[in-house]
Amino acid sequence: MKMLDHCAFNGDADGLCALQQLRLAGELDAAVRLVSGVKRDIGLLQRVQAGAGERVTVLDIAHEQNRSDVARLLEVGVRIRYFDHHFAGALPQHPGFESFIDTAADVCTSLLVDRFLEGRFHRWAVAAAFGDGMPGPARALAARHGLGEEDIGGLEELGLLLNYNAYGESLADLHFDPVLLAAKLLPYDDPLGFVRDSLSFVRLREGYAADMAAAASLDPWQAGAGALLYRLPAEPWARRVSGVLANQLAARDPQRALGLLSARADGDWTFSLRVPATASLEADAFCRSFATGGGRKRAAGINRLAAEDLQDFVGQFLQAYPHAAL
């Protein structure tokens, strides 16, 4: 009897491109059951119902926030492959658990999958690294495979737009449900074919241009010597641009920590953080000090900040990054 495959993947560029590489390589069954959501929907393994002898592949979702569901699945005889680059905490010592987790600052999940597949679908990994705010590793991988500037530019735009699509409070904010977008990507061995030929790419490009035009006049809300904090309104366009905008604002002032507050429809806030490579406090360390926080060394976030705690949070953020990075 054929093994039943499941895959839980982050709905951003990194998760989508990691999934695409594994599917093109035949590493997932054609009928794999996919589970995904908006970028901040990280407790995805809660929704995976698998039984003994089945396999779950996890892509770009922190183990720390899914620990109990990993244990639940292993206990009933599920095999788990875990590709990720976020803080993981203690990993299970279990024969059914296979880890491809690396939290180094210069890797993303698609680069780990590219390593696993020995570069077979490296263009997807290049796009993912650009989308995940890692232009250095993206260009290094592109150079290793001799890609020209025109192709690199197309992959950079694709990564940006795939990442942009994942941000929102709910699936209703997104242009495409990530599971649907994964289906639209699937026919393309070469991501540049999707760029050239897909109407879905055109829709993402046009939506991005309109949303970024709305964000063009944004000024810092609070500023310190080592940090800038921006605040976005409770509008769908603002929720969609939050991740891409955080990366762009951080690139504009690379010596300071960049915080971006996004208003939720219920009155609370989400928070995105980008920090310089030489920051005294890593991004995930700051965000994990809050109940719904997590991420990686240079980019992290908090899924919910109560409105009544906002002023105290501002003080904590500015105190955490008092000086510009060297």
Distance between CA 159 and CA 146 in Å, rounded?
19
Residues 189 and 234 in one domain: no
Residues 195 and 240 in one domain: no
Residues 43 and 134 in one domain: yes
Residues 127 and 243 in one domain: no
Residues 140 and 232 in one domain: no
Beta strands (DSSP E) in the chain are 5-9, 33-35, 55-59, 79-84, 97-101, 222-223, 227-232, 257-263, 269-274, 293-295, 299-305
Does a structural domain hold residue 286? yes
Last residue of a domain, one of 178, 206, 234: 206
Residues 254 and 180 in one domain: no
Residue identified by tokens 């639940």 is 72
Token pair recorded at residue 185: 């990507």
pLDDT digits (tens, 9 = 90+) for 208-234: 999 999 998 899 999 999 999 999 998
Q: Which of 94, 90, 128 lies closest to 112 in space, CA to CA?
A: 128
Q: For residue 269, what are the contacts with CB-CB under 8 A and spacing of at least 6?
A: 261, 262, 263, 304, 305, 307, 310
Residues 126 and 252 in one domain: no
Residues 62 and 117 in one domain: yes
Does a structural domain hold residue 87? yes
pTM (two decimals): 0.88
Does a structural domain hold residue 289? yes
Percent of the chain clearing pLDDT 70 (strictly above): 99
Last residue of a domain, one of 180, 206, 232: 206
What average pLDDT does range 59-67 have in this prediction?
95
Residues 239 and 184 in one domain: no
Last residue of a domain, one of 206, 235, 262: 206
pLDDT digits (tens, 9 = 90+) for 153-209: 999 999 999 999 999 989 999 999 999 999 999 999 999 999 999 999 999 999 999
207: enclosing H helix or E strand: helix 199-215
Domain that holds residue 142: 5-206
As a dihedral over the C-alpha atoms of residue 219, residue 295, residue 102, residue 118, rounded to 10 degrees, the angle is -60
Q: Identify whether the C-beta of residue 39 lies closer than 8 Å to the C-beta of residue 205.
A: no
pLDDT class of 1 with cuts at 50, 70, 90 = very low
Q: What is the CATH number of the domain that holds 302?
A: 3.10.310.30
Residues 125 and 263 in one domain: no
Residues 199 and 104 in one domain: yes
Residues 162 and 278 in one domain: no
Residue identified by tokens 């010596």 is 255
